[in-house]
């Protein structure tokens, strides 16, 4: 892409130079913050297609080349060699931890996995069939009331909130799964591997303990790594904008969970699996379904396809497909759906509609299939995305607080409503 070396804007015959802010890699930015003051104009950019709202040193994406890096490390290397908590440390603190620092984080998180009885009562107050994303958002907000010494902006308070959020979100999600099935809650052991413990308290039968299959543990750890951050996506931008009002980290992340629940964002993993089932039930062939998507008449989208930033194969999607292949081979089950999904992908990738629009499978296309094969019910898929995204939200909240350029998020608008008119009393309307 051509490097912009000079930018000028001519408004009403007056030329103004616009400053260019340099990125270390990727798109540089055109500074427009004084435009309104200087020209009376605002910029219009619905959906923030072209607007950088902040600087960030956390995650880099090159959407054309299919590159994703956390703090400079390629996602493929982290997926292969790291663990979720190590990746969390990296995202939040900027560097890979030493062995001591990693062990300290793991121990601290595992020690805090129990949840207060008040939180259990809170979870029990919702209907058993409540969508877990709604309850999760409420539970994260409610956590703030139990830990008042983790609400401030000092390093110690933020560090405590970080540990509590990583630890208790896992337990809340595992409990939501048990509750939906009418099962009693199991106490975390306060030791052991984080992912093991999450699966143990989510899946152990009423009597006896689940022995976590190492392949499944590794697969889930990998899925959490792949979801851990994705720069300024909808939920992360929500976290940053809520946090910019100096609302506490729990309030900001609770709002982010609301954003993630939508089917165009994290909810797409559940929606994709539903779509596969609907295709099977409808008796349509995969080709017929693709024709409906292209026709747009029924408003159908190919869920798990397309991305605002990736205009090539989502590197996370490629990793998920690889691991799905391995896990489904080992576990059996869902193979028929997996074959259908692969067929759907193949047809879409060779179809002009998808080629022209650069629509490729994203991270959500195969994750639902994989979660389902691992035994997670469909409503738990998006909470699993939330568990994975937690380090990213925390890292962005902390980066936002520490950035001297942060101002309360407050976009402008282009007003298109009525100009002034006089109030009409009720009896005259």
Per CB under 6 A, residues contacting ligand CMC are 47, 230, 233, 264-266, 268, 293, 301-308, 357, 359, 362-364
Provide the minimum distance between the beta carbon of 259 and ligand CMC in the complex, in angstroms, as a whole number. 9
414 close to 42: Cβ distance less than 8 angstroms: yes
Region label for 184, one of left (φ > 0), alpha (ψ between -120 and 50) or beta (otherwise)? beta
Q: Greatest CA separation found in the chain?
A: 79
Q: Rounded distance, CA 96 to CA 90, Å?
A: 5
- Would you please indicate which residues are annotated as catalytic (active-site) residues? 307, 364
Minimum CB distance to ligand CMC smaller for 112 or for 227: 227
- Residue 28 CB, shortest distance to ligand CMC, in Å, is 21
Minimum CB separation of residue 369 from ligand CMC in Å reads 14
E-assigned strands of 107-168?
A: none
Distance of CA 397 to the CA centre of its chain: 14
Cα(328)–Cα(169) distance, integer angstroms = 27
Q: How far is the CB of 6 from ligand CMC (least distance, A)?
A: 29
Query: Quick one: 162 or 367, whose CB is closer to ligand CMC?
Result: 367
Residue 252 or 275 having the CB closest to ligand CMC: 275
How many helices, marked H, and strands, marked E, lie in the chain? 18, 7
Helix then strand then coil, in percent of the chain rounded to 5, is 55, 5, 40
Tokens (6 digits) for 53: 């709202």
Cα 90 from Cα 86, distance rounded (Å): 6
**How far apart are the C-alpha atoms of 372 and 185, rounded to whole Å?**
21
Is 202 or 361 the residue whose CB approaches ligand CMC more closely?
A: 361
Per the CB < 8 A criterion, the answer to whether 185 and 121 are in contact is no
Q: How far is the CB of 267 from ligand CMC (least distance, A)?
A: 8
Residue 78 beta carbon to ligand CMC: minimum distance, rounded to whole angstroms: 17
Instruction: Report the C-alpha gap between 188 and 390 in whole angstroms.
Output: 19
Nearest residue to ligand CMC, by Cβ distance, number only: 306
- Judged by beta carbon, residue 188 or residue 306, the one nearer ligand CMC is 306
State in angstroms the smallest separation of the CB of 417 from ligand CMC: 25
Query: In this structure, what is the dihedral angle of CA atoms 22, 27, 30, 31, given to the nearest 10 degrees?
Result: -60
Q: How far, in Å, CA of 108 to CA of 384, rounded?
A: 21
Which residues face 361 on adjacent strands? 305
Q: Please say which residue, 128 or 296, places its beta carbon nearer to ligand CMC.
A: 296
- In the bound state with ligand CMC, the residue whose beta carbon lies nearer, of 236 and 248, is 236
């Amino acid at each position: 892409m051509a490097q912009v070396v000079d930018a000028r804007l001519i408004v009403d015959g007056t030329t103004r130079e616009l400053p260019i802010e340099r990125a270390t890699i990727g798109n540089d930015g055109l500074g427009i913050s004084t435009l309104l003051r200087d020209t009376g104009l605002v910029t219009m950019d619905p959906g923030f297609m072209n607007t950088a709202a902040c600087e960030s040193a956390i995650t880099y994406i090159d959407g054309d080349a299919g590159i994703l890096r956390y703090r400079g490390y390629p996602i493929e290397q982290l997926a292969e060699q790291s663990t979720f908590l190590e990746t969390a440390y990296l995202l939040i603190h900027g560097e890979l931890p030493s062995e001591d620092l990693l062990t300290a984080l793991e121990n601290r998180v595992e020690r805090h996995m129990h949840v207060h009885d008040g939180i259990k009562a809170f979870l029990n107050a919702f209907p058993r069939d409540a969508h877990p994303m709604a309850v999760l958002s409420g539970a994260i907000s409610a956590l703030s009331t139990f830990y008042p010494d983790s609400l401030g902006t000092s390093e110690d308070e933020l560090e405590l909130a970080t540990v509590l959020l990583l630890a208790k979100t896992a337990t809340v999600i595992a409990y939501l799964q048990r509750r939906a099935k009418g099962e009693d809650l199991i106490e975390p052991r306060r030791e052991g591997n984080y992912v093991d413990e999450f699966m143990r308290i989510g899946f152990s039968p009423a009597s006896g303990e689940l022995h976590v299959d190492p392949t499944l543990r590794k697969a889930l750890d990998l899925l959490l790594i792949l979801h851990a951050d994705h720069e300024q996506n909808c939920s992360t931008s929500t976290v940053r904008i809520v946090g910019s009002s100096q609302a506490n980290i729990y309030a900001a992340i609770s709002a982010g969970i609301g954003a993630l629940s939508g089917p165009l964002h994290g909810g797409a993993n559940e929606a994709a699996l539903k779509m596969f089932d609907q295709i099977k039930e409808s008796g349509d062939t995969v080709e017929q379904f693709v024709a409906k998507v292209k026709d747009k008449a029924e408003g159908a989208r190919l869920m798990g396809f397309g991305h605002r930033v990736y205009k090539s194969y989502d590197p996370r999607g490629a990793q998920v497909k690889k691991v799905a292949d391995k896990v489904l081979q080992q576990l059996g089950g869902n193979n028929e759906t997996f074959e259908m999904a692969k067929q759907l992908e193949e047809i879409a990738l060779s179809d002009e509609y998808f080629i022209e629009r650069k629509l490729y499978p994203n991270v959500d296309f195969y994750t639902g299939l994989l979660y389902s094969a691992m035994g997670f019910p469909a409503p738990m898929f998006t909470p699993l995305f939330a568990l994975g995204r937690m380090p990213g939200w925390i890292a962005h909240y902390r980066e936002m607080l520490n950035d001297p350029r942060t101002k309360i998020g407050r976009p402008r608008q282009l007003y298109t409503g009525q100009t002034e008119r006089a109030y009409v009393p009720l009896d005259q309307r």
